[in-house]
């Protein structure tokens, strides 16, 4: 696990090269039922699996974990950090894309989710045991898959991948207005 906010000082929008182990596809049928709202069942996800702002939350590498990750993200951004619904909606979508990649492409039993905040920024990380790099593919109008990292690239301010001794952390960062 990484310490601090490593990567905030790095290059913006790194573009990893594609490798055979890094082909990207969209997670089909992903549960996209999470609409960011304040209070209610969304915050129950924190009670169930833990708080990703305090420590990395481990989730099983199954498609249904994307829904849990989205609920956690919505709960943290809206309820704990009081961020805007639009920023929350974008972050929830990007978390879903990164989790989908971790579930579909790594062969892992679990993955980790962590959320960090510092003045003016949020950072969300998904850690998995694979060292295969994700690949930002060109997107065409009629494509039905392969849009995940394209969305991460367009909706986040910065994103990247940190290789670890055992796996990698894929992350994105978004600017926020501190009150």
Residue 113, domain member (yes or no): yes
Residue 102, domain member (yes or no): yes
The residue among 51, 69, 169, 63 whose CA lies nearest residue 117 is 51
Mean pLDDT (10-residue bins), the chain, 179 residues: 40 37 31 45 68 95 94 94 96 96 90 96 97 82 72 95 95 88
Residue 33, domain member (yes or no): no
Residue whose tokens read 């978004």: 174
User: pLDDT tens digit string along 83-113?
Assistant: 999 999 999 999 999 999 999 888 889 999 9
Residues of the domain holding 121 = 39-175
CATH of the domain at 104: 3.30.565.10
Residue 19, domain member (yes or no): no
State residue 10 phi and psi, 5-degree precision: -75, -175
Residue 15, domain member (yes or no): no
Count: domains in the chain:
1
Residue 5, domain member (yes or no): no
Residue 96, domain member (yes or no): yes
User: pLDDT tens digit string along 145-162?
Assistant: 667 888 999 999 999 999
pTM comes to 0.74
From the CB of residue 104, how many other CB atoms can be counted at a distance below 10 Å?
18
Residue 49, domain member (yes or no): yes
């Amino acid at each position: 696990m990484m310490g601090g906010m490593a990567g905030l000082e790095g290059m913006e929008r790194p573009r990893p090269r594609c490798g055979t182990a890094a082909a990207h596809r969209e997670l089909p049928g992903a549960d996209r039922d999470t609409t960011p709202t304040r209070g209610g069942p969304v915050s129950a996800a924190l009670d169930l699996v833990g708080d990703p702002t305090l420590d990395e939350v481990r989730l099983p590498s199954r498609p249904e974990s994307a829904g849990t990750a989205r609920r956690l993200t919505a709960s943290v951004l809206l309820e704990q950090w009081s961020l805007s619904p639009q920023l929350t909606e974008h972050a929830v979508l990007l978390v879903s894309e990164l989790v989908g990649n971790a579930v579909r492409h790594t062969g892992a039993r679990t993955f980790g989710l962590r959320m960090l905040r510092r003045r003016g920024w949020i950072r969300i990380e998904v850690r998995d045991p694979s060292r295969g790099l994700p690949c930002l593919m060109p997107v065409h109008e009629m494509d039905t898959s392969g849009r995940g990292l394209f969305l991460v690239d367009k909706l986040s301010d910065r994103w990247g991948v940190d290789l670890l001794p055992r796996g990698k952390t894929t992350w994105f960062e978004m600017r926020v207005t501190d009150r």
